[in-house]
Structure 1
Amino acid sequence: MSPSLLILTDFFRAANDALDYATNLAVPLGARLVLLHVRRDSILDPEMFTGELSDLSKEATKLALSRVADDLAVPVVVEIGHGRVAFAVADAVSRHHPLLVVLGRPDYSATPGELVQTTALDILRTAPYPMLIVPHTVASNAVPRRILLALDGEDFTLGPHAGAIRQLLRTLSAELTVLHVLSDPTDPTREDEVLESVRRTGLSVDLPGPLRFRSTVAGRPAEGILHAAQAADTDLVIVLARPRSFWKQLFSKSVTAQVLLRSTVPVLVLPTLA
């Protein structure tokens, strides 16, 4: 069976832009799209307060999904879920085993901070899975080639997701630059150690060129990553979601959460086992 990309849609602009991005990504991967719309009608849904939920009827939703699918240049499966998005995504993932979950990030600049409980964060907490977040600021749908992998210098393992991510990077012929973020300027830059931690995962196997290395010092690691990711030579930034630093802390204090909420380039979040 061909690989798939699971993409969430609510028919708003951010989701439509993410769909365009995912469609272009699916072509070199030879992947089909699983287009998932989740009907969200719970008063406990935090985004009920933002006005960013579709109010289409079930019949209208089916028609809209069908029209979207007909306009795409890659094979598409459409599904309608119900209730909490994270649970609907977990169910779809268990059946389709996609390479990635893809979703658009709307403009939250006018939304009070306490209401910014995004779908991405809820999914990562409830059903962690490799996730590509496409911000509303992305102006190009070109396939990413120049990829920045942000690391804290500690070993990591991707577990069952390692093979899919290796396939993704290899198919894209990615130029992979490893960014080592230091919080203390007196810490030594451990280039060899950091690069070896990447090689052990197999992520650099069969890439067109050698791993590149960059280091930066930032009192707030997220600021260092965001600054580096805004460089003109970066198409995509990869960040890790470690269990101890993401799920067990407040989202507002998680480096990963800050990056995916504020980055101006697409962010690929990889859950780790440690």
Structure 2
Amino acid sequence: MAVSLLILTDFFQAANRALDYASNLAGAIGARLVLLHVRRDSVLDPEMFTGQLSNLSKEAIDLALSSVAHNLAVPVVAEIGHGRVAYAVADAVSRHHPALVVLGRPDYSDMPDELVQSTSLDILRTSPYPMLVVPHTLASTKPPRRLLLAVDGEDFSLGEHAGAARRLLAALDAELTVLHVATRPTPAEPDPAVWDSVLQTGLAVDLPTQVHTRTVRYRSAAEGILQVARPEEFDLVVLIARPRSFLGQLFHQSVTAQVLLRSPIPVLVLPAAE
């Protein structure tokens, strides 16, 4: 079965930027796109009151999807889902088994983080799956060549997604830097346990170039990651999201949520296994 990327679109700016990014990524790794538009027609949808939802008719959506698919340079399948996005995504994932779910991050600059009920966070809570979030401010949609993998130093497993994640990183032919943000005093040299936690997953096995390691000291892990993950140095930041980080009631305070909401570069979230 050919590798596929599931891309969400609502035809707004953020989704269009993510679609450009996903199509370039698909071309680089030889994948097809599954283009999913979800008609969020439930009155209980929290974003029904924010003006962030498309209210196009089914005919208009069909026409828009056909037009978008026609202009893409990679193979594409277009679908329409209904209801909550997280449930529609879970259904599409069960049928297409994509390597990634890709979506755009809208402009939340005028909303407190605590009030943001973004689609990416909802998907992580409902059906954890490898997810790529593309900010609407992204300047370039070229495939990433400089990857930053942020780890906490504890052992982790990617479970059923380990193989797909390893193949994706290898196919990108990119340079990988493993980052550990030390929130407590630590020696200047990288802790070997940090590197061991990555080695045990096999993520670095098929990479074509040497993997670099980097340790920085910061009071907040999220702030440390955001300070390092600048567009001048990196094209993509990879996070390992542990279940405790996205299932808790104070999810907006987790490292995953803060980086997702504020990163200037795309964020690839790899959910860790239980």
Q: TM-score range by the shorter chain?
A: over 0.9
Q: Name 2:144's counterpart in structure 1.
A: 144
Q: Deviations over 1:207-261 (max 9, x none)?
A: 1222210111111110000000015220100011101232124122111000000
Return the alpha-carbon distance in structure 1 between the equivalents of residues 202 and 53 of structure 2. Answer: 40
Q: Name 2:262's counterpart in structure 1.
A: 262
Q: CA deviation at 1:115?
A: 3.4
Q: CA deviation at 1:186?
A: 4.2
Return the alpha-carbon distance in structure 1 between the equivalents of residues 203 and 24 of structure 2. Answer: 22
- One-letter amino acid of the counterpart of residue 178, structure 1: V
CA contact (8 A) 2:18 2:134 kept: yes
Q: CA deviation at 1:28?
A: 1.9
Q: CA deviation at 1:49?
A: 2.3
| % identical aligned pairs | 69
CA contact (8 A) 1:42 1:83 kept: yes
Q: Name 1:171's counterpart in structure 2.
A: 171
Q: Name 1:27's counterpart in structure 2.
A: 27
Q: Name 2:216's counterpart in structure 1.
A: 216
Q: CA deviation at 1:137?
A: 1.3
Structure 1 alignment gaps of length 5 or more: none
CA contact (8 A) 1:69 1:78 kept: yes
Q: CA deviation at 1:198?
A: 0.8
Return the alpha-carbon distance in structure 1 between the equivalents of residues 243 and 28 of structure 2. Answer: 32
Return the alpha-carbon distance in structure 2 between the equivalents of residues 189 and 256 of structure 1. Answer: 25
Return the alpha-carbon distance in structure 2 between the equivalents of residues 217 and 43 of structure 1. Answer: 46
Aligned ranges for residues 190-209 of structure 1 at < 5 Å?
A: 190-209=190-209
Q: Name 2:227's counterpart in structure 1.
A: 227
CA 1:189 to 1:273, structure 2 compared with 1: closer, same or farther past 3 Å?
farther
Query: TM-score under structure 2 normalisation?
Result: 0.97
Return the alpha-carbon distance in structure 2 between the equivalents of residues 231 and 76 of structure 1. Answer: 29
Return the alpha-carbon distance in structure 2 between the equivalents of residues 190 and 264 of structure 1. Answer: 26
Q: How many residues align?
A: 274
Q: Name 1:57's counterpart in structure 2.
A: 57
CA contact (8 A) 1:49 1:115 kept: no
- One-letter amino acid of the counterpart of residue 163, structure 1: G
Q: CA deviation at 1:189?
A: 5.2
Aligned ranges for residues 34-183 of structure 1 at < 5 Å?
A: 34-183=34-183
CA 1:223 to 1:101, structure 2 compared with 1: closer, same or farther past 3 Å?
same
CA 1:184 to 1:114, structure 2 compared with 1: closer, same or farther past 3 Å?
closer
Return the alpha-carbon distance in structure 2 between the equivalents of residues 39 and 114 of structure 1. Answer: 25
CA contact (8 A) 2:180 2:194 kept: yes
Structure 2 alignment gaps of length 5 or more: none
| Superposition CA RMSD, Å | 1.3
